[in-house]
Amino acid sequence: MGLSMNKKIKVISLIIPILAFTWFFFFWESKDTAEYRYTIQNNREDGCEIYQTLGDLAQSRGDYAKALRHYYKALTYLPENIRALDKIGSLHERHNNPEEALKIYFKAMSIHPYFDQVRYTHDKTIIDKKTITIEKGKQWEGEDLSSKTIFVYCERGFRHTLSLCRFLPLLKAKGAHVIFSCQKSIVPLLQEANLGAEIIDQSVDPESLNFDFYTSLQRLPHLLEITLDDISSNQYLQAPKEKTQRFKKKLFNTEKLKVGIVWRGNPNILHDKQRSLSLLYFHPLAHLATIQLYSLQIGSGIQELQKHSKNLSIKDLSPYIKTWHDTAALVANLDLLICVDTAIAHLGGALGKQTWVLLPYVADWRWLGLSSHVSNIWYSSVLTFRQPNEGDWDSVIRQIKTKLTAL
């Protein structure tokens, strides 16, 4: 039986508003809506931010593919946005695509030397940190270097100098004379290495030098198009022989397993609270009968050693450390180095010393999201032990103790 006229009128009165709303929503834009869409399309910064937010939402739902699409879309607005690049690299890490992650990170590092700090903060001043300006020569972008001189400088700390100086010989292989400017305390160590470069103190004014091109050390992996296969994990630094022997006679006269430890990094580094730990975590290791612990801790953390020296059998080597030349000679006398993710981890790896690195749950990009207790692409002698959960150093130390007792 059909609807009465009154019922038909009621149905129509309900349908019309729905149709009107649908038309309004899909086919008509208010002035505000039109302006908003115009902003997304024409304001690169806002567009990049919006697609990063969409990527974050997709990632929170576990949709890896969609998150990546949104992050890559963000780059179409700002191709050099290091936050978007870091998020893309991080996703590739977590989904076992280290080759692509490395490529993204190298690109980000070539854009801004402090790119790796963005994953630990939303502070935009990190991105605005002043970089070094060179007033002479031409910035190298991959041009032919045959019979040319290139000036390479480091904009960051010792971790970057130690881990990336391995790429300097590749510039010499291109026919260049290479001048590398680095921190004063590391100059003697690098001068004795076969890096194919003239090593100078960074206090030397670049204006006093003659060169055709310049570049930062951080840009080399990207400019040289380094891939996983190009990274040699072999030893590339050498400890000074005479000093090593002198320290051996004076400090390392024991039959026990000689294990060096470093538990804190530079407190001024943004994520130092996450990567550093208390000396007391090493208490279970200090009482193993078969090992002797040696502290290579300098600066922050020394007070802890002094405070707990009566309860922990640890020999303090800090009085003998003045330069990286000294540190290398001390490390060379160890059987094993155990440390947090600070510069000495890269020194141990570069020297070919067996090194165990304790990593926080959210670790530095160089370790490429590898799971706990694994080797890595950078150094054949280095194993990493990562927190299974944020802040869980107890689990890491238990793994370390188990592996130590098996040696």
Q: pLDDT per residue over 2-21, tens digit each? A: 556 665 555 555 555 555 54
* Angle, CA of 324, 341 and 68, to the nearest 5°: 130
Q: Decide which of 120 and 253 is more confident.
A: 253
In which band, very low, low, confident or very high, does the pLDDT at 177 lie, cut at 50, 70 and 90? very high
pLDDT of 218 higher than 50: yes
- Using DSSP's 3-state secondary structure scheme, residue 291 falls into strand
State the CATH architecture for 241-405.
Answer: 3-Layer(aba) Sandwich (3.40)
- 310 φ, ψ (degrees, to nearest 5): -70, -30
Q: How much is the pLDDT for 367?
A: 85
Calpha distance 174→113 (Å, rounded): 24
Q: How confident is the model at residue 34 (pLDDT cuts 50, 70, 90)?
A: very low
pLDDT digit string (tens) for 249-296? 999 999 999 999 999 999 888 788 999 999 999 999 988 989 999 999
Percent of the chain with pLDDT over 70: 85
**What is the pLDDT averaged over residues 353-376?**
78
- Residues 6 or more apart whose CB falls under 8 angstroms from that of 144 comprise 174, 175
Supply the CATH classification number for the domain 31-123: 1.25.40.10
Section 321-350 average pLDDT: 97
- Average pLDDT on 330-350 reads 97
Residue 180 near residue 217, CB atoms below 8 Å: yes
Helix (H, G, I), strand (E, B) or coil at 69: helix
Both tokens of 185, joined, read: 């305390």
Q: Please say whether the structural domain 138-230 has been given the CATH code 3.40.50.
A: yes
Apex 390 CA angle, 386 and 395, nearest 5: 50
Using pLDDT thresholds of 50, 70 and 90, give the confidence band for residue 45. confident
User: For the chain, which residues make up each domain, given as ranges?
Assistant: 31-123, 138-230, 241-405
In this predicted structure, the answer to whether residue 52 has a pLDDT above a threshold of 80 is yes
- How does residue 212 score in pLDDT terms, banded at 50, 70 and 90? very high
Above 70 in pLDDT, residue 36?
A: no
Residues present in the chain in total: 407
Which of 3-7, 97-101, 197-201 is most confident? 197-201
Confidence of residue 365 (pLDDT cuts 50, 70, 90): confident
> What confidence category does residue 118 fall into, taking pLDDT thresholds of 50, 70 and 90?
confident
Let me know if the fold of 31-123 is the same as that of 138-230: no
Q: Which of 17-21, 75-79, 142-146, 236-240 has the lowest average pLDDT?
A: 17-21
52: part of which helix (H) or strand (E)?
helix 44-60
Dihedral of the CA atoms 93, 95, 100, 101 (nearest 10)?
-10
**pLDDT for the residue 232:** 86
